[in-house]
Structure 1
Amino acid sequence: MMGDSAMKVIGIGDNVVDDYSHIRTMFPGGNALNFSVYASMLGCNSAYLGVFGSDESAKHVQRTLARIGVDTSHCRSADGPNGHAILTIEAGERVFISSNEGGISKSVPMEFIFDDLDYLQTFSIVHTSAYSYMDGYLAQLQQLNPLISYDFSDDFESEYALSLCQYIDFAFFSCAEWTEEAVTELLEKVVNKGCSVAVATRGPHEVIMFDGRSWFRQAPQVVIPADTLGAGDAFISAFLISYVGGKANTSVQPPLLIENSLEKAASFAAEICQVHGAFGHGLRY
């Protein structure tokens, strides 16, 4: 555990079941939900806020979160299919086949997250993602206490992504296919738009991070993966919790704190690569 148990964090947005059709097993997942679960694994007081469907997939995700102890007290349920992705594993690498793009959640506006502002104000970090239907609410979220983290994943259009960076504190990008030069150029632009910290994971290559003053790099830990699903979310979660938690401890110099946080992130991501699904809890069907 690396988190301060008093640190409260929340993932807002997408939840899915990752359906491993080759072994007929459904695992809970989704960028925002994975953050909530990983934060809980890392010792935080963790919550998830999003929309569940009304099918068996939704029930499995809800039961799993209850078992883990992630707070879902402010979630909504809607009649219809839960978020659902079909994927398979090839040599330990996850391969997406298809998705229903969040299922019923894409027809439920996320405005309801502001129904209880006192609740939202209690968190240190809000993490959301490109698949969370949250872009239109970032400006409103920015007015509140929590730091905002956003995962752009690998499916982003640079100009649009940059237009959101004025509202967020931490921006994460997946740039496995990018040149190093293109990555550094992107991260500089992100920080110039007002983001405090910009991070690009690059598959098997070094992670690159820029905080407006210094450049940092972190090599991934070499493991033979059982399943790479969730590795990026694990990296994000461990980095945020270590960095934000460590900032409260003013005795640690910022560059050292960042280096330590990146190292912990790489280590936790490697650990998650040994787990089937994003964090286990598979249900056979």
Structure 2
Amino acid sequence: MDRKIRVAAIGDNCIDYYDSLNESYPGGNPVNVAVYIKRLGGESSYTGAVGNDSFGKIMISAIQNKGVDTSHIQVLDGKTAVTHVDIVDGDRVFGKYEEGVLADFKLREQDISFIKKHDLAVTGIWGMIEDELPLISKEIPVAFDFANKFANPIVEKAIPYVTYAFFSFDEESRNEFRQKYHSMGLKEKENCTEQLKEFMKAMQQKGPKVIIATLGKNGSIGYDGNSWYRFGIIECKVVDTMGAGDSFIAGFLYGILNGLNVQDSMEAGAQNSAVTIGYQGAW
């Protein structure tokens, strides 16, 4: 492409604090995606809120140093969000979450006007902008990370306005997935994979052009209303899985926006994820 793609990342941010290491790293789903889009060669911005504390200054500085546009970060009176994290056998384990000023984050009119100038907006289940999706989606495509929160009311509220929907299917979410599955009145299937596919078909019919479910070490599965897609993982040394899912989303979206098909974009997502899990912290 002659022009670099521009992605607007919107919503939550947090300081990932590793208690056992006494180390902290800036992060958060949309923040991570914005940084990874820049790493891949695109342009990105982050719109969200931080506190007027030391962590807020660290967050803004760190994002700016990665080349992400921070002109629409709101600095509010209070504390920046913090997520406590531990590493167990190379995998991240989330502990206490302190929401801080994100509880008061709302998009302003100037923020929405700014977002519409991008090629795509990306947010997630904790982004707190589901009410603004109808306005944004009229102008540009929307990508949404529903994580593993299948039964969250935001799923049904947001899904009609989403172009690219992402879910994370893992052991932790199996019970919640089953609850959501049964509440939708979907037919019983022999195994979890078939149930997941039935769920994805139902969700795709509610609005998204493409729906993707990441499956951890088992790769990912995608559906576009006509065809199913599968891709595994890129073998690599695992240091820290923090940011793995966000890396996949960024790689997938960067591929799609640059003209790749769904299958090749899933591979691009896996390749980008393999880079991230090879080092400590999200970025």
TM-score of the alignment, normalized to the shorter chain, above 0.5: yes
Q: What stretches of structure 1 of length at least 5 have no aligned partner?
A: 248-256, 280-285
Change (3 A) 1:90 1:116: closer
Q: Which SS does the other structure have where 1:204 is aligned?
A: helix
Q: Tell me the distance in 2 between the aligned counterparts of 1:199 and 1:38.
A: 18
Residue 105 (structure 1) aligned with residue 102 (structure 2): yes
Q: Tell me the distance in 2 between the aligned counterparts of 1:4 and 1:82.
A: 38
Matching residue of 1:229: 242
User: Which letter does structure 1 place at the counterpart of 2:104?
Assistant: S
Change (3 A) 1:94 1:181: same
Deviations 1:38-83 (A, max 9, x none): 0011111111000111111111111111211110111111011101
Change (3 A) 1:116 1:133: closer
Deviations 1:147-206 (A, max 9, x none): 100000012316651342111101000002352012101110111001100000011113
Kept in 2, the 8 Å contact 1:162–1:189? The answer is no
Matches within 5 A, 1:211-250: 211-246=224-259
Compare 5-14 and 124-133 and name the one that shifted more: 5-14
Cα RMSD after superposing both structures: 1.6
Give the TM-score normalised by the residue count of structure 2: 0.89
Name which of 17, 20, 24 aligns with 1:22: 20
TM superposition shift of 1:120: 2.1
TM superposition shift of 1:143: 2.1
Deviations 1:237-262 (A, max 9, x none): 00001112116xxxxxxxxx222211
Number of residue-to-residue matches in the alignment = 264
Name which of 142, 149, 152 aligns with 2:143: 149
Give the TM-score normalised by the residue count of structure 1: 0.88
Residue 127 (structure 1) aligned with residue 122 (structure 2): yes
Change (3 A) 1:140 1:57: same
Kept in 1, the 8 Å contact 2:46–2:68? The answer is yes
Matches within 5 A, 1:157-168: 157=151, 160-168=154-162
Kept in 1, the 8 Å contact 2:116–2:136? The answer is no
Q: Tell me the distance in 1 between the aligned counterparts of 2:33 and 2:242.
A: 13
Name which of 218, 228, 231 aligns with 1:205: 218
Kept in 1, the 8 Å contact 2:130–2:157? The answer is no
Compare 132-141 and 85-94 and name the one that shifted more: 132-141
Matching residue of 2:30: 32
Q: Which SS does the other structure have where 2:72 is aligned?
A: coil
Matching residue of 1:282: none
TM superposition shift of 1:5: 5.6
Q: What stretches of structure 2 of length at least 5 have no aligned partner?
A: 175-191
Q: Tell me the distance in 1 between the aligned counterparts of 2:244 and 2:77.
A: 31
Q: Tell me the distance in 1 between the aligned counterparts of 2:117 and 2:101.
A: 28
What is the aligned-residue identity percentage?
Answer: 30
